[in-house]
Amino acid sequence: MLFTVERKPEICKQNNNRPGCCWYLCDNPKTSLCKNCYSCYSNCPHNVYEVINDEPIPIHQERCVGCKICEEMCPTRAIYVRPLADEERGVWTNHTMLEIKRKSQTGSYKVSGCGAYRFIPSFDDLSILPAQVSRPPIDTYREPCKTSVVLGDRFAENPIKIDTPIMIGAMSFGAISKEAKIALAIGSSKAGTIANTGEGGMLPEERHYADKLIAQYA
């Protein structure tokens, strides 16, 4: 569930004659930080706030888990945390609207790579059966257990065999440096897998060091 964090700046700036940055008396105040109240910024465990122009702003609201620590620690009760209803207005999801709000407040884009909109499983979704740990399903002394994979075994005239089921993704020269391309080519040969040229053309050194190389044409 997503949460929205609303901060009332006119209430937040009220002078409470406090020597510290929190509702309690600070034993070791920092003069450079205590000119304004940064209680929400200092106490948020999920880094929702950023200090912009000497004011704490809830920029990263997508990180909020609704713990309401900032709301409880605010001495002027200027912060309100409330859950957002799970609703979609066409392509305008809550995540999209929170990102638009963040960009309007900061004037900057969130730099991120291209990705899929579908749900991607994580390591938290893995279930480990204790019986598999104590009793291996394959007798390593009688049955082979390998990670090698054959690509195109059924239909290709020249199937490709690699030692690991993990291949290096397509990253073009220009997106990454020449040295990085050479390092990936060397690493792919040592790991027994395939490198990929990407759309930036094939470097002679990349072809030289990569045992197997996918040439990508755009």
**What CA–CA distance (Å, rounded) separates 43 from 58?**
13
Residue 90: pLDDT band with limits 50, 70, 90: low
Sign of CA dihedral 12, 15, 16, 17: positive
CA distance 27 to 8: 28
Rg (Cα) of the chain, in Å, rounded?
27
**Concatenated DSSP letters of 172-209:** -BTTB-HHHHHHHHHHHHHHT--EE-TTS---HHHHHH
Most confident of 5-19, 69-83, 130-144: 69-83
CA distance 145 to 148: 9
> 2-54: per-residue pLDDT in tens?
777 777 766 665 555 544 445 444 555 555 555 567 788 888 888 888 888 77
Residues 204, 116: Cα–Cα separation, whole Å: 33
Q: Residue 69 pLDDT > 60, yes or no?
A: yes
How does residue 211 score in pLDDT terms, banded at 50, 70 and 90?
very high
Predicted confidence at residue 217, as pLDDT, reads 83
Question: Which ranges of the chain would DSSP assign to H, the alpha helix?
Answer: 9-12, 39-43, 69-73, 94-106, 130-134, 178-191, 204-209
Query: Can you give the pTM of this predicted structure?
Result: 0.41
CA distance 40 to 59: 12
- What band does 71 get if pLDDT is binned at 50, 70 and 90? confident
